[in-house]
Amino acid sequence: MNSVLLDHFFPPKEPFATPPRLRPNKSAPPLTTDAIAAAHSKCSPTSTPGPDGIPYSTWKQVNKINPSILLHILAPLVLRGYHPASLKSSNGVILDKPGKPSYESPSSFRIIVLIRTISKVLERIIAAPLLAAARLRGLLHPNQSGSLPGLSTYGACLTLINNVRTL
């Protein structure tokens, strides 16, 4: 019976297809060591690493000692707009929510997904110019708050207080 349930809920994964030959995107700006350093500056040194076990502090030291290492690893991915499946693997950690009267319900728990730190650095590198382009073209809603630099929930509260007081 257990194997039937496992096969039903966790079917075997399809093998990864060989990606097509990716061509460089000629309009993609070249990756710089400054962009990598900026991505690292937003990474918490206390963040738990993913399945590879490499913390941000290690990548920061690698970048500090020889910035060309990460540049040579990440530049081809940025140039081709490719995020390899091998960087997308993660660990899920289930934590119980404190103060719950009962832990018999799944809603009493939360899952934290830990992805590879190098993958998070790559995502931050890609996100920075996308955010700049979205702001430049007015694609962000004027009431957007949180998740973006300079648009925190605290800032939204200050704006609300100001608007209420000026009415």
**Structural domain count of the chain:** 2
| 71 and 6 co-located in one domain | yes
Residue 25 pLDDT grade (very low, low, confident, very high; cuts 50, 70, 90): confident
Question: CB-based burial of residue 135 (10 Å sphere; 0-12 exposed, 13-18 middle, 19+ buried)?
Answer: middle
| 100 and 152 co-located in one domain | no
Q: Name which of 77, 66, 63 is nearest 31 in CA terms.
A: 77
| 116 and 42 co-located in one domain | yes
What's the average model confidence in pLDDT over 122-143?
87
Query: Residue 50's domain spans which residues?
Result: 2-136
Q: 3-state class of 75 per DSSP? A: helix
| 86 and 157 co-located in one domain | no
| 81 and 147 co-located in one domain | no
| 121 and 45 co-located in one domain | yes
| 20 and 47 co-located in one domain | yes
Q: Report pTM.
A: 0.73
Percent of the chain with pLDDT over 70: 90
| 112 and 153 co-located in one domain | no
| 76 and 151 co-located in one domain | no
pLDDT at 135: 86
Q: pLDDT tens across 26-69, in order?
A: 888 899 999 999 998 888 888 889 999 999 999 999 999 999 99
* Contact between residue 134 and residue 117 where contact means Cβ atoms under 8 Å apart: no
* Contact between residue 95 and residue 112 where contact means Cβ atoms under 8 Å apart: yes
| 37 and 114 co-located in one domain | yes
Q: Work out the angle at residue 117's Cα, subtended by the Cα atoms of residues 57 and 39, and round it to the nearest 5 degrees.
A: 75
Residue 10 pLDDT grade (very low, low, confident, very high; cuts 50, 70, 90): low
Residue 1 pLDDT grade (very low, low, confident, very high; cuts 50, 70, 90): very low
- Helical H runs in the chain? 2-9, 33-41, 56-65, 67-80, 117-136, 153-166
Of 9-13, 37-41, 64-68, 152-156, which gets the smallest average pLDDT?
A: 9-13
Q: 3-state class of 90 per DSSP? A: strand
pLDDT at 38: 92
Element (H, E) at 84: none
